[in-house]
Amino acid sequence: YQRRVRGPKLYYDFLAVLHCQLEQAPEDFFDDSMTGSNFLATTLSRLLDNIFAMHERATCAFSDDQMPEVWQKLGRRTRRFRSTVEERFGREFLDDDDSDDPVVVDLS
């Protein structure tokens, strides 16, 4: 049980720190010619997608009344964080990169 709780707590705390850091960035950070093509947008999208996937697995593993509070808090914080950064920067943070998806090859 302790191991299951450490991961969500780490992400929960990390999102708080990241939120404070992103508050310092200008609103055009992801559109500016100097900073717009950096790795952060892709990394942020993947981070959020990974947290949502991890939360979804936890939701399936626990019944509603048995889900540890840290998982519930992580889900709420992640949704609020995503909403806040999307509103602030005027863009969606979704992982649309299909380069890691499996490729189907037709051999006929």
Indicate yes or no: pTM above 0.85. Answer: no
Please report the pLDDT score of residue 102 as a whole number: 64
Name the nearest CA neighbour of 44 among 92, 98, 5, 108: 92
| Distance, CA of 78 to CA of 40 (rounded, Å) | 17
**Regions of the chain short of the pLDDT cut 50:** 1-2
